[in-house]
């Protein structure tokens, strides 16, 4: 899941970390707290799962788990470099910041099918990694470190895959929907409005369902997740989340 099809000139640059498939991966200063906070959360989680661990052991598990969790998001963005190249419209930059990775293109004046093909790489990556993580989990013994890391991988890829399938304006499925509508005869502006309305309507429905389950049904975890997803959909539909 990543924010796509944005103009490089409208965004500040960052520090180049490395190149993948010929595309520079750059990090803005506000990116660096994210892996630190993620390591802290995973260290805490390692202690929750096994309270007998020492703080050093918890930190070691957190450090092992952090790149596994991070690759779910970063790998999704990098996979778009492959689909963009296959589509004949290579990506120019991946920008990491406090939000989602952004895949940036100097030239967005491409055919609708090219936009769609560029968007498929991340979805395919997340689906394949979700399947492999599920297999890893099934092959790992309960209570083992391998099982713990497999769980983290499965959750990470599940979240990114689920988010990418949501019709939000700035993620894969929303972009695919927009350009399918353009192919069907809408203007890009009309298609944008349709996608935003779809995101807003679904977000409202998910928020209501989450509230109902959380309070009336007393399923607080499921209700909270639905409500959070609904709030994100509403924010994206209103243009607050980009």
Q: Are residues 60 and 140 in the same domain?
A: yes
Q: Are residues 56 and 13 in the same domain?
A: yes
Residue 108: predicted pLDDT:
84
| pLDDT values of the chain reduced to their tens digit, one per residue, 242 residues | 555 544 444 555 678 999 999 999 999 999 999 999 999 999 999 999 999 999 999 999 999 999 999 999 999 999 999 999 999 999 999 999 888 899 999 888 899 999 999 999 999 999 999 999 999 999 999 999 999 999 999 999 998 998 898 888 888 999 999 999 999 999 999 999 999 888 888 888 878 877 777 676 566 666 676 777 777 778 777 777 66
Q: Are residues 151 and 205 in the same domain?
A: no
Alpha-carbon Rg for the chain, nearest whole angstrom, is 19
Q: Which structure tokens are listed for 15?
A: 């520090």
The domain total for the chain is 2
Q: Are residues 157 and 209 in the same domain?
A: no
Q: Which long-range contacts (CB under 8 A, 24 or more apart) does 178-182 make?
A: 178/115, 179/112, 179/113, 179/115, 179/116, 180/112, 180/116, 182/112
Q: Out of 115, 136, 165, pick the residue that ends a domain.
A: 165
As a whole number of angstroms, the distance between CA 153 and CA 182 comes to 36
Domain range for 40: 1-165
Q: Are residues 46 and 134 in the same domain?
A: yes
Task: Report which of 196, 185, 176 is spatially closest to residue 238, judged by C-alpha positions.
Answer: 196
Q: Give me the DSSP letters along 72-141.
A: HHHHHHHHHHHHHHHTT----EEEE-SSS-EEE-S-----HHHHHHHHHHHHHHHHHHHHHHHHHHHHSP
**Sign of the four-CA dihedral 15, 18, 22, 28:** negative
pTM exceeds 0.95 = no
Q: Are residues 44 and 15 in the same domain?
A: yes
* DSSP type of residue 166: S
Q: Out of 165, 187, 217, pick the residue that ends a domain.
A: 165
Tokens 């499921």 sit on residue: 222
3-state secondary structure of 142: coil
Residue 35: predicted pLDDT:
94
As a whole number of angstroms, the distance between CA 36 and CA 21 comes to 27
Return all residues near 58 (Cβ < 8 A) that are at least 6 apart.
43, 44, 46, 47
Q: Out of 143, 165, 187, pick the residue that ends a domain.
A: 165
Q: Are residues 3 and 68 in the same domain?
A: yes
């Amino acid at each position: 899941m990543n924010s796509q099809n944005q103009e490089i000139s409208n965004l500040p640059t960052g520090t180049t970390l490395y190149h993948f498939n010929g595309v520079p991966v750059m990090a803005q200063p506000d990116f660096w707290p994210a892996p630190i906070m993620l390591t802290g959360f995973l260290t805490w989680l390692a202690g929750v799962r096994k309270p007998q661990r020492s703080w050093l052991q918890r930190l070691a598990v957190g450090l092992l788990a952090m790149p596994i969790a991070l690759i779910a998001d970063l790998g999704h963005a990098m996979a778009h470099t492959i689909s963009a190249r296959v589509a004949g419209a290579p990506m120019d930059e991946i920008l990491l910041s406090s939000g989602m990775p952004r895949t940036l293109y100097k030239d967005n004046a491409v055919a609708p099918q090219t936009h769609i093909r560029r968007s498929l790489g991340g979805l395919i990556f997340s689906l394949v990694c979700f399947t492999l993580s599920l297999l890893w989990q099934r092959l790992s013994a309960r209570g083992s470190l391998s099982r713990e890391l497999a769980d983290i991988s499965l959750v990470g890829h599940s979240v990114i895959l689920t988010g990418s399938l949501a019709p939000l304006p700035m993620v894969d499925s929303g972009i695919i929907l927009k350009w399918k509508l353009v192919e069907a005869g809408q203007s890009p502006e009309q298609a944008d409005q349709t996608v935003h309305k779809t995101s807003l309507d679904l977000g409202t429905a998910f928020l209501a369902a989450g509230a109902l389950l959380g309070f009336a049904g007393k399923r607080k975890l499921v209700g909270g997740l639905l409500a959070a997803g609904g709030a994100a959909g509403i924010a994206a539909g209103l243009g607050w989340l980009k």
